[in-house]
Each structure stands twice: as C-alpha cells, then as structure tokens.
Structure 1
C-alpha cells in the first residue's frame, strides 16, 4: 500500500509555496508530483513587512497573514492532488512548515523563540487531511537552534557509503549539510546556516531593477566584485561563529546591508549585485572548506540558488576540486527538495520517529518534531 504524504514549503525568499506528493511505501521517499503557487503581491509584501519588528498592530496582521498563507497552501495542495489524480483521503498527512518571520534561538531567556506564521487547523479544515506543523519548537525546547531541520532528510537522500557529500540549500538564507562517508550515525552529520542566500540579492534587484530576482545571475555577472566591500560584509561575526548556528532575516536584511553601504553612493548598482553574489558564494564555499575537512568532493545544490548559473559558477570557482552539481542531477529538482523534506518530517512525526539531529541543532538529543492537527 502507498504511504502518501504532502510536503509544503515557503522559504525566506518569499516567492511562493512549493508542494510535493511523496510515497514512502518502498522504504525510501519517491516524489510522485510537484506543484507551486506564487504568493499574491499583497501577501508577499505583508510577510516581508512582518519580518521587521516595530510595525503597527503586528499581532492582528500576523494572524490574518497566517490565514492567507493557509489558503495558499490549500490551493497548491489541491492543485497537486488534481494533477496526480490522488484523492485527499489517500494522503496520510501534510507537512507544513509555515513562514518564518522571527528566529531568535537561545536568546533572551536561554530558550529564545522561533515564529513561523501558519494556521494548520485552517489548512486541515480546508483540505480535509491531517496537518503536521510547528517542527522547530520542540528542538528549541530541548536546547537546540530549531534549524536547520533538513540535514536528516539530506542524509537519507544524498549520503553515500564511501564518499563525503555536501548539500547546500540556497533559498533566502543558505544552509549546508555535511554528510561524511557512511554517515549513518547521527553524530557524524553537520548542518548549519551559512548566511544570506538569495535574500539580499533579491532585495537589491527589486530595488534597482524592479524585478523580484536576478534571472540566471545575469545582472550580477555584468558587474565587478568590489573587494573592500566584500571584506566588510564578510566581517560580520556570524560568519566566523562555530556551529551549531542558524540565522534569518532578523540579521541579514536591508537595514544590515544599508549600514554597510554607507559612503558608497557612487558605486554602480551592478557592482553591488556582483559583490552580494560573491558574498553568498564565498560564505558557503568557506564553510564547505572549513568544516568539510577537505573530504567533500561533491556539493549538491538545491533551492532557488541552484537555478542561478552565475552563482553556481562562482561556487565552483571557489571550490577547486569539488564538483558542484544541481540536485536535479542527483534525482530531485532543486525546488522540490525542501518541500520533500517536510513530507519526510511529517512521515517521521506520524510514526513517532525522531526528526532532528542533535549534532546539527545542538539540542540535548533527538526528538519527535511537529504538532498534529487532525482533519
């Protein structure tokens, strides 16, 4: 019998929601279908605004944005089921991560908090399928960062018995999983956020070109890297911190960038874009080299950044001797990997299997992740 789960993901790039239908009946994940839906412009603008503290009536606005997000999730799930011909009653559960608007683990009171806007009860009501959500909070309660959560899934999908592999997800924020050869034991896997992925690139492109992203990195490729600015950006203390570590738009946001661009009013916008692309490539490559201990010979890239040919080229240039490939070359298209991860996490939650890796998040141990909202 099929064990069908839907995974939903809307990441820090804020471009929309991806959904996959996954079958676990063979013992491993098999993706049967994919659907995506862009965010309506007002919802995207509101989600972006809610990433910045200090706005008026935030609680009210956040609640309504969560309702709107649940409706987008329901629509993309319905489209996915229609396209695959699978009735809702055949799906065991949906894994819905929600939209992160704050991530401050271990801060303030020793536990901190992480906030993902979502209304899983509404989603369950709209689609008629059990929903698993709130994946990060249990890891935080156990003393962890609550992120990244995908390395356990990366291990199940991409690890190899005789070769170390790196898996780099480049969404709004970039995160890296390092999978040593034969990484069956939890303690051997490392995973952490590297820093900005597409978030600053997309912001700069929207501001100066009126486009939501730099297609194929063509605009960045037309500019020249500003070495002194790159060095200033890389001086951010987050880059030199040891894992476990995670971050988000709380740190890498337009204000962070504006502070570091003071006095550079005469710089060409394309050169800033080229430097921001180099910032992403440099930070990610440095982490592969520093924490991969020279063992990684292949870096599998997923997320929207894998579609940016300029960014992929810059990664390859900074990683001589490492083959940089899209996850599509290893069996799963880049924009399906994270959604598939949350189908995997939902499957684990329903079976009461542990979903985090303490070696990644710093939690006191492995935990079952997620809260279940019955249909």
Structure 2
C-alpha cells in the first residue's frame, strides 16, 4: 500500500496555500515536493471578511469553501505534475480548510471550531481520498482543537538529549515544547503575523511587511507595547488556543486610541515587537535544557521579527526549521499530511497534554476517492 500523502495548509495569515507531497515509507518523513499558491485577491478578501459576522454568511461561506477547494485542487495537480505520480499513487490528502471561527469551550461548554472548505468537491476534483475537519473531534472531547502540530513536531524535531522549542508563526503564533524525555506541550502564544499584516495592508497597500523592512524604519512605542502585553489571554495557563476572534482589527483599534499621534511605521515596529515579546515570554518559560528555538511558518521569513525574537530570547539560538532539516514553509503542510495518515491508520492525532482533551482521539472525516 502507498505511503504517499499530500498535506495542504492555508493558515490564519491568509497568505495562500502551501502543499507538500510527503513520503512516509522510510525511517523518517521525506518531503519530496512542495508547491504554494497565493490566494486570488477576491477570495482572500472574502475569507478575511468571513472571520467576522456579516450578511448572508451561510451562502457566502459555502461558495468560499468551493472556491478554496478549487484552489487546493490546483496545488494538488501541481504536486502530481512535478512528482510524476498519478492520483492513484496518493493514499490521501490532509486538507485543513480555512479557519474562520475558533471558539472552543465557549457559549455552551463545548463551543466550536469552524474551517471552511468542501472536502467532497476536493475529492471529486482530484480523485484522491480527502481527510478534513481535523479539529472538531478534539473540541467535542473537551479540548481546544489546537494546536495539532506538536505531536508531528515531536516526531520530526524531537531529540533525546535536549528540549527543543518549535515556534510556528502564522497568523497566530504557537509554541511546541518537545521534552528530551518525550513529553510534549504546546499552545498558542498570541498574535503572529495577523496584526502586522493588517496594519501593513491598511497603510502601505502591501499584504505583508516583506522581511520586516518597514517595521525596521520605526521605533517601538513602550506605552503601546505595555498595553498590548496586558491582554489577559497572554497570561492564561495552557492548554489554550486563540485566533482572529480575539486578535483582530477591532481589538487593535481599541488599543491604539490613546496613541492617535503615533506614526504608522512606529505602530508597525511595535506590533512586530509585540509578536516577538509574546512568543519570547512563552519560550523563556519553558527553557529547561533547550539551546534552540526553531521557527517555522511565514514569520520565519521576516528578518526583523527573527532579530527581535533573538534579542528577546538571549539564552537560545533562534533559527528557522531549515536548520533542523525541514524548510519553514513546509512544516505545517507536512503536519496535515501526517494527520491524514494517522486518521487512515486509525491512530490518534491529538495530544491531550497539548489540547486538554479528555483522551487521545482519531481525528477527521474521510471523503473517499
């Protein structure tokens, strides 16, 4: 039986889709091919709009899910074309979908997490089995439904001689603490790129601050930074997870009111420092015998952010996961390939020590080819 899987990821940063073709047949995972695609501007705008309540949401969400699945299918076809494999050689696609609401344990005690997508359409368009809806079972079992990647991080990056810290910086940042004894912790630290990207788009028209170059021209505003760091979520004990439901433009606007005279570049510098500081507070709390903070996700490409992280974590060597053998933009997609494999093999995909679920669970819904 084939042990080839495709993993697809479109994260809260809304910068597009990353896809990998992963081979699990050897002693270690091998990512053989990688493909990425930016979102069409109209789709990105609609996915962003659907993060907040609006008119005709059900209809719009269904059509956005269809459009997202068509974009996913294009990435799958690119991977098949580059690899030379037929669709029949791929055992399954792990498709995360696009998170537009994440409210575990709220409202009725269970809460919910909602990812847009149409896995049935993706299965039709590709001829490959699709594993999707990978968070809701963990939420039903009393968990946060996130983060799900720490179990994968342990398998790929864990070491018997030291604690390894892995920081994923997408729209939200999350930390995995991979103990030398095999223990794993993980939780969302706070904002990643979401606030920086929003501010950059609003003031420069660019979807993100490339390499943090704009932030580097500004000065950090100590009063604003201190106010941002007072956010109660940052001081909650794990297990915990968050998203754009909290760290969104309205949240930022409320904090900016006393700083109306600040320059846009100074705000960008402060938001970059905020992401670095919130992440560093987490990393510095779990140092143990760790020497390395390995960063993945789009934030790993932001040189100014990486520099500020290093300044905030002086005991650690801050590197990208490329230094550990898996490129920063491939890690999350590879994790969802791994999760799809866990599902088809009837193996748990969550870690109760991370999510707070009452026990390990097989995750996801399967849409056969």
Of 248, 270, 290 in structure 2, the residue corresponding to residue 253 of structure 1 is: 248
Taking the aligned partners of 2:23 and 2:181, their CA distance within structure 1 comes to 25
- Say if 2:163 and 2:288, in contact at 8 Å, map to a contact too: no
Structure 2 contact 100–115 (Cα < 8 Å) conserved = yes
Give the alignment's TM-score, normalised by structure 1: 0.97
* 1:182 Cα deviation from its structure 2 partner: 3.2
1:206 and 1:252 mapped to 2: Cα distance? 16
**Hey, what does 1:199 align to over in structure 2?**
194
State the shift of 1:263 in Å: 2.8
Separation of aligned partners in 1, 2:70 and 2:184:
36
Moved over 4 A (4+): none
- Structure 2 partner of 1:156: 155
Do residues 356 (structure 1) and 356 (structure 2) align? no
Q: Are the counterparts in 2 of residues 2 and 24 from structure 1 also a CA contact under 8 Å?
A: no
TM-score by length of 2: 0.99
Alignment correspondent of 2:337: 343
Structure 2 Cα separation of the partners of residues 113 and 141 of structure 1: 8
Aligned partner of residue 31 in structure 2, secondary structure: strand
The 1:293–1:322 alpha-carbon spacing in structure 2 relative to 1, beyond 3 Å, is closer
SS in 2 for 1:339: helix
Aligned residue in 2 for 1:20: 20
Q: Deviations over 1:192-235 (max 9, x none)?
A: 00010000000000001110100100111111111110000011
**Residue 301 (str. 1) matches residue 295 (str. 2):** yes
2:363 counterpart of 1:369: yes
Deviations 1:218-264 (A, max 9, x none): 11111111111000001100000000000000000000000000032
**Structure 2 spans left out of the alignment, 5+ residues:** none
The 8 Å contact of residues 174 and 193 in structure 1, kept in 2 or not, is answered as yes
Offset at residue 293 of structure 1 (A) = 4.5
Q: Which position in structure 2 is the counterpart of 1:321?
A: 315
1:244 paired to 2:239: yes
CA RMSD of aligned residues (A): 0.8
Report the Cα offset of residue 296 of structure 1: 2.2
Between the aligned partners of 1:142 and 1:27, the Cα distance in structure 2 is 32
In 1, the alpha carbon distance for the partners of 2:316 and 2:362 equals 35
The alignment of Structure 1 onto Structure 2 pairs a total of residues equal to 369
2:261 aligned counterpart, secondary structure: coil
Q: Deviations over 1:96-148 (max 9, x none)?
A: 00000000000111110000001000000000000000100110111000000
